[in-house]
């Protein structure tokens, strides 16, 4: 079967492409913006890419077109697709029909931590010898790919609440029908899709409704929005987690000496110590992610002590506190954080790791919600743990970044051009600093430009 994918370079659609290729299909695709790591992954798989959305890419006619949620009516290729009556499906619909229908699906949902928790869970099952299929919104170092078909029965998927396609406005995750579902947390996000947090809660409840009574819900026990969502009705046994043991947490953690940054902790279930984790990740948020993954893996049959051992071998995820390089004594990190809560927890974890060393945070407000200015009031407070903050404010940002900079006082700076930002940053950074670059996009190659500018000024 010839599968053609529109919007193929998004993390989710690139994963669909990889799985379709492994399933034996001929796979082609197109996108408007192509950048690593997904473009390099697709090229390595031998998938032919077309730049842009011209109708000619539908000749010869594919057997099915998988339509990404970046596609809209009015795009030439979409109008040609509809006019010619070519079969089409959304990515989640195609995946559910062709892959997930006969699998034990373990889905990871939440405003934050989805990629990390999905990667942890997939790795635990892999370590246990179960060879799961997976689709992750990033690339775990232990797998080097974001998706694979894997072996039956298990399939681990990052369950995104973003809408499915221009013809299906439900959240993606309602298609997956999980047997095991992790609900990490729930906050307002995706302001371009949802008018308020209540609308997101309704989508999460749609997901809850699909989990069978013989399944399992693994839920953040101290998240009030999730508690409200489950109060709408839940028909599945649940297990709560919270690193500090709050709420009705069955799973919690206890820091070990030297592990105050989240790097070493005991795992407890109902007060019993079941294992110990000593790993490369840091931050309280990642301790929560680990607890959720351990609980979900046990539902799939992996003993907690095996899961803890697996986490000790976990090598991390690209773009999640990834050290991109060091120059002139300055460490430069890449992180996907794009929501105030994620920014604050990432900075807190780094602060606990580096102590009094200077942290310079560099943020691109690139997500649709950020561009709409929804988080303006909470953005400056979320950056409190940084010693210095640089905000990338291009001319088309859509709101005045100056108010954020002013709210940061002498710590705040802004730049409207990536090259200028790299030069000015390099001039202010000094040996021993940690430069944390945060964006959910490529940030114009700032990481490498900054490292080059540091080298040149050394």
Q: Write the secondary structure of the chain as one string of H (helix), E (strand) and C (coil).
A: CEEEEECCCCHHHHHHHHHHHHCCCEEEEEECCCCCCHHHHHHHCCCEEEECCCHHHHCCCCCEEEECCCCCCCCHHHHHHHHHCCCEEEHHHHHHHHCHHHCEEEEEECCCCHHHHHHHHHHHHHHCCCCCEEECCCCECCCCCCEECCCCCEEEEECCCCEEECCEEEEHHHHCCCCEEEECCCCCCCCCCCCCHHHHHHHHHHHHHHCCCCCEEEEECCCHHHHHHHCCCCCCCEEEECCCCCCCCCEEEEECCCCCCCCEEEEEECCEEEEEEECCCCCHHHHHHHHHHHHHHHHCCCCHHHHHHHHHHCCCECCCCEEEEEECCEEEEEECCCCHHHHHHHHHHHHHHHCCCCEEEEECCCCHHHHCCCCHHHHHHHCCCCCEEEEECCCCCCCCCHHHHHHCHHHEEEECCHHHHHHHHHHHCCCCCEEEEECCCCHHHHHHHHHHHHHHCC
- Centre a 10 Å sphere on the Cβ of residue 74 and count the other Cβ atoms it contains: 8
Which of 149, 150, 169, 152 minimizes the C-alpha distance to 161? 169
Q: Alpha-carbon distance 22 to 8, whole Å?
A: 16
| CATH class given for the domain over 99-313 | alpha beta
- Centre a 10 Å sphere on the Cβ of residue 78 and count the other Cβ atoms it contains: 20
Q: Alpha-carbon distance 127 to 287, whole Å?
A: 19
Q: Alpha-carbon distance 204 to 226, whole Å?
A: 9
Q: Alpha-carbon distance 353 to 169, whole Å?
A: 42
Does a cis peptide bond (omega within 30 degrees of 0) precede residue 355?
A: no
Which of 339, 324, 333, 392 minimizes the C-alpha distance to 357? 333
Q: Alpha-carbon distance 206 to 10, whole Å?
A: 25
Q: Alpha-carbon distance 269 to 371, whole Å?
A: 41
Same fold, 2-91 and 322-456: no
Q: Alpha-carbon distance 258 to 81, whole Å?
A: 58
Quick check: pTM over 0.85?
no
Q: Alpha-carbon distance 65 to 6, whole Å?
A: 7
What pLDDT score was predicted for residue 106? 98
Which of 257, 291, 261, 299 minimizes the C-alpha distance to 274? 291
What CATH number does the domain located at 2-91 have?
Answer: 3.40.50.720
What pLDDT score was predicted for residue 145? 83
Q: Domain spans of the chain?
A: 2-91, 99-313, 322-456
Which of 187, 240, 233 minimizes the C-alpha distance to 213? 233
| CATH class given for the domain over 322-456 | alpha beta
The arrangement of strands across the sheet holding 388-392 comes to 322-327, 330-335, 434-438, 359-363, 388-392, 412-415
- Phi, psi (5° rounding) for residue 5? -115, 120
Note down pLDDT in tens along the chain; length 458 residues.
Answer: 999 999 998 889 999 999 999 999 999 999 997 666 667 778 888 898 998 999 999 999 999 999 999 999 999 999 999 999 999 999 999 999 999 999 999 999 999 889 999 999 999 999 999 999 999 988 888 898 889 999 999 999 999 999 999 999 999 999 999 999 999 999 887 777 888 999 999 999 999 999 999 999 999 999 999 999 999 999 999 999 999 998 889 999 999 999 988 999 999 999 999 999 999 998 899 999 999 999 999 999 999 999 999 999 998 877 777 888 999 999 999 988 767 888 888 888 888 888 899 999 998 876 655 555 556 667 778 888 889 988 887 776 767 777 777 777 888 888 888 888 888 898 889 999 999 998 877 788 888 899 988 888 76
Tokens 């699909």 correspond to what residue? 210
Q: What does the block give as tokens for 332?
A: 């430069």
């Amino acid at each position: 079967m010839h599968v053609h994918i529109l919007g193929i370079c998004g993390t989710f659609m690139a994963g669909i492409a990889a799985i379709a290729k492994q399933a034996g299909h001929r796979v082609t695709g197109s996108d408007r913006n192509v950048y690593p790591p997904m473009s390099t992954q697709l090229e390595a798989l031998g998938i032919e890419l077309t730049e842009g959305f011209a109708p000619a890419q539908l000749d010869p006619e594919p057997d099915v077109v998988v339509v990404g949620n970046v596609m809209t009516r009015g795009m030439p290729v979409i109008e040609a697709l509809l006019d010619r009556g070519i079969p089409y499906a959304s990515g989640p619909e195609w995946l559910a029909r062709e892959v997930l229908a006969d699998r034990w699906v373990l889905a990871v949902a939440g405003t934050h931590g989805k990629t990390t928790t999905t990667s942890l869970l997939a790795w635990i099952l892999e370590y246990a010898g179960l060879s799961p299929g997976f689709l992750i919104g990033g690339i775990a170092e232990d797998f080097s790919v974001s998706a694979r078909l894997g072996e039956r029965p298990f399939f681990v998927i990052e369950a995104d609440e973003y809408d499915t396609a221009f013809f299906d406005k439900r959240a993606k995750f309602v298609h997956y029908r999980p047997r095991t579902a992790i609900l990490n947390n729930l906050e307002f996000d995706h302001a371009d899709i949802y008018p308020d947090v209540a609308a997101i809660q309704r989508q999460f409840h749609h997901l809850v409704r699909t989990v069978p009574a013989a399944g399992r819900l693994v839920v953040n026990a101290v998240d009030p929005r999730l508690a409200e969502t489950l109060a709408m009705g839940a028909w599945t046994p649940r297990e709560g987690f919270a690193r500090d043991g709050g709420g009705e947490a069955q799973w919690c953690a206890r820091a070990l000496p030297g592990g105050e940054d989240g790097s070493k902790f005991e795992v407890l279930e109902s007060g019993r110590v079941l294992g110990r984790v000593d790993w490369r990740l840091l931050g309280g948020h990642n301790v929560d992610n680990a607890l959720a993954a351990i609980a979900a893996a046990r539902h799939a049959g992996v003993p907690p002590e095996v899961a803890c051992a697996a986490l000790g071998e976990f090598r991390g995820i690209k773009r999640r506190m990834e050290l991109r390089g060091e120059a002139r004594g300055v460490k430069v990190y890449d992180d996907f954080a794009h929501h105030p809560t994620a920014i604050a927890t990432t900075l807190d974890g780094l602060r606990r790791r580096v102590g009094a060393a200077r942290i310079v945070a560099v943020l691109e407000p690139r997500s649709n919600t950020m561009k709409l200015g929804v988080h303006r009031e909470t953005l400056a407070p979320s950056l409190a743990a940084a010693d210095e903050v640089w905000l990338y404010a291009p001319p088309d940002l859509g709101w005045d970044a100056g108010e954020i900079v002013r709210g940061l006082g002498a710590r705040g700076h802004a730049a409207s051009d990536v090259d200028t930002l790299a030069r000015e940053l390099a001039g202010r950074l000094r040996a021993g600093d940690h430069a944390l670059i945060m964006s959910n996009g490529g940030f114009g190659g700032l990481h490498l430009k900054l490292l080059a500018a540091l080298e040149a000024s050394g």
